[in-house]
Structure 1
Amino acid sequence: MFCILIFFCFWHLVDGVKIVSVMEGDSVTLHTDVIYKHRHRYRLLWIGPENTRIVRAYWFHDEETYIMYYGDQIFRDRLQIDNRTGSLTIRNMRTTDSGLYQMHSLLRESFNVTVYARLPIPVIIGDSSNCPPSSSSQNCSLMCSAVNVSHVTLSWLKGISVLSSISVSDLSISLSLPLEVEYQDKNTYSCVLNNPISNRTRHLDISQFCQTSADRVHCCGFTEAVIRLVISAVVGVATVAIVVYDFTSRRAERKRRTSQSVHE
């Protein structure tokens, strides 16, 4: 099995079936050992997922080759067959191309192909925008997430050791994995999203996501000042309202008494 793009493409043999893994967007060649030149006439048929006919080819002793491509609506112009070996190349692989591919000739060869979507870089969020619950808190809460992923594992690593992980198989969902570290922790942490043939890593900068003691004091001091200012403003407005109400009430009472005196 060869790949036009060598990286992100692997295969091995299980019960006579070659297991092929390839990254979305890459090209893959399903390599056969057939060499037709020793025969006067030879024909070959490639069948794809759901028993879809892909390519039929004929070779003759005068080395003329006739190739007929099928399934244009599925593969369009992404197919190419080697006119000497019958090896099939598929360009710009899509996740929907995953499945069983079979080459039918004097010999039959099978390839179970899995196309993995390209992985996003995981996202880390923390509590850097908020003060901790109390000044005595020593831990920083973090969350690593990846959205719309399948056939992946999301893990927190401390150095090269796995602290925790969560996996998803077929469904395309969002994954999140929490982590708590000390504010003064000097260890190296990273969040890794991986599938069988690739991985994406986000390294944790604790100083970016977790505030130091001085930062927490400053943060909480600023917050306390804002709260006091708001309370003072509310009290001031309430005081003015009471004074205005009292003044208005007394003025109305004087007018009422004056009016009564005149009528008497």
Structure 2
Amino acid sequence: MVICSVFLSLSFLTVGVFGDEVKSVSVMEGHSVTLHTDVVKQRNDVITWTYGPENTFVARINGNADSIMFSDDWMFKDRVKLNDQTGDLIITHITSQHFGLYTLKISINWKVSYKKFSVTVYARLPVPALIRDFSQISSSSERSSSLKCVVLCSVMKVSHDVSVSWYKGKSLLSSISVSEHSIIRSISLHLECLDDSDVYSCVVSNPISTQTQHLNTDVCHKCSDSPDMRRNMWIIILTVIFALLICVIIIIKHKRSVQGFVKAATRDFSRSYEDSNSSRPGNDQKQKHILVY
């Protein structure tokens, strides 16, 4: 019984505890990533890193011999480093091939513990392209006179977990998810015209980075440059001129009517004055005296 108990105890210490928790780590392609052990290596500790479901050897630091070993596999050769104090694994110039599960094995005396890391490698995001879309305009006459501006935001060479979105300022207008297998990799924006006060942006993003392209008048015409806007401005200008002409005509007619009224009033006043003078008695006697004489 004692021998069995000792055997079971030794077996437990040798096997140790397998951690079920997997830590997720994201990195941009071409950058470096560090997987942390969260321990300080002691002299007798052995830290081993493996990759994938087949536990492909990546690197090991042996406390007793104070030595570090690295894999000769093409994926990791000249790309990995180990921190000699903590055993942290550093992968430099990472590529999409390094995506996957990494397992850390820490051997301290008879006790063995494990940690797992899920590494996601994101490709560099492309700068979105903004293209004016005329396909939705049916005829050439409509094309020349229509105010509508349809802009496509397109991306190429994308990987997974990528979204393409239109923003007005900081407000999200629309968004789609795309990947390397997506048939549709563009999203459209419909505008009447582009106002100077409005800022429209197409944003391509994944969980760790973004690329932004702003909409400008090279792609979509300004509201002040639109045919209808110019026509409306001419209508307003002509309306103002016509109203001014009417006002001038009214003023001239009013002035003439006033002048005619003044002349007529003056003439009537003169006649009345003459009539009043001719009807006085003194005037009649003078006339009779002149006749008698």
Q: In structure 2, what residue type is equivalent to 1:164?
A: S
Structure 2, unaligned runs of 5 or more: 1-19, 107-111, 231-293
Cα distance, 1:184–1:203 mapped onto 2, change above 3 Å: closer
From 171, 185, 206, give the equivalent of 1:175. 185
Structure 1 match to 2:83 = 82
Contact 2:178–2:184 (CA<8 Å) still a contact in 1?
no
2:59 maps to 1:46: no
From 205, 209, 215, give the equivalent of 1:194. 205
* Mapping 1:92-103, distance limit 5 Å: 92-103=93-104
Structure 2 match to 1:213 = 226
Runs of 4+ in 1 over 4 A off after TM superposition: 214-217
Structure 1, unaligned runs of 5 or more: 1-14, 218-264
Per-residue CA deviations over 1:176-213 (Å, capped at 9, x if unaligned) read 111111125342100000000000000001x2112332
Who wins on radius of gyration, i.e. which is larger? Answer: 2
2:60 maps to 1:56: yes
What SS does the corresponding residue of 1:36 show, helix, strand or coil?
Answer: coil
2:157 maps to 1:148: yes
Greater strand share, structure number: 1
State the distance in 1 between where 2:153 and 2:174 align: 11
Greater helix share, structure number: 2
What SS does the corresponding residue of 1:34 show, helix, strand or coil?
Answer: coil
Per-residue CA deviations over 1:136-172 (Å, capped at 9, x if unaligned) read 5221111110001122000011111111111025637
Structure 2 match to 1:253 = none
State the distance in 1 between where 2:141 and 2:91 align: 54
* Mapping 1:245-256, distance limit 5 Å: none
What SS does the corresponding residue of 1:142 show, helix, strand or coil?
Answer: strand
Q: In structure 2, what residue type is equivalent to 1:213?
A: S
Tell me how far 1:133 sits from its aligned partner: 2.0
Structure 2 match to 1:250 = none
Tell me how far 1:100 sits from its aligned partner: 0.7
Tell me how far 1:74 sits from its aligned partner: 1.1
Structure 2 match to 1:116 = 122
Deviates more, 1:87-96 or 1:44-53: 44-53
State the distance in 1 between where 2:32 and 2:179 align: 24
- Between the aligned residues of both structures, percent identity stands at 45
Tell me how far 1:31 sits from its aligned partner: 0.9
Q: Given the two structures, how large is their TM-score scaled by the length of structure 1?
A: 0.67
Contact 2:126–2:157 (CA<8 Å) still a contact in 1?
no
Cα distance, 1:54–1:119 mapped onto 2, change above 3 Å: same
What is the aligned residue count? 197
Cα distance, 1:136–1:208 mapped onto 2, change above 3 Å: same
